[in-house]
Amino acid sequence: MRRTSTKVVAAAALLVALVLAGVVSRFADHDPDGLTKVSQEHGFAHKATTHRGLLGGYGSLTGVVGVVVVLGLAGGLAFAVRRRRPDDERP
């Protein structure tokens, strides 16, 4: 059996993330999440304060931008801290 290349796996994973953020997110439930709902029912929701996010809120476009930013930051961080191959193992 031929092994699926890492590039193909990576491309598929990225495509899934982009489709989830850009398309499927349109169908996300807009009800308050677990903590927000509990805070409303237990009388501490009014304590929440908000700030302005640099991209505003979540949407198809900003979601895709978010995916790319997260990919770049986490991927870059991983590359920075990874083990380098010893020189004698370099092709």
Closest CA to 21 of 52, 71, 70, 62: 62
List the one residue from 61, 79, 86, 87 that touches another protein (CB under 8 A). 79
Task: List all residues 6 or more positions away from 65 whose beta carbon is below 8 Å from its beta carbon.
Answer: 55
Query: What tokens were used for 67?
Result: 């995916």
Q: Does 78 bind another protein (CB under 8 A)?
A: yes
Q: How far is the CB of 15 from another protein (least distance, A)?
A: 10
Q: Does 61 bind another protein (CB under 8 A)?
A: no
Residues in the chain: 91
For another protein, what does the binding mask look like between residues 5 and 44, x meaning CB under 8 A? -x--xx--xx-xxx-xx--xx-xxxxxxxxx-xxx-xxxx
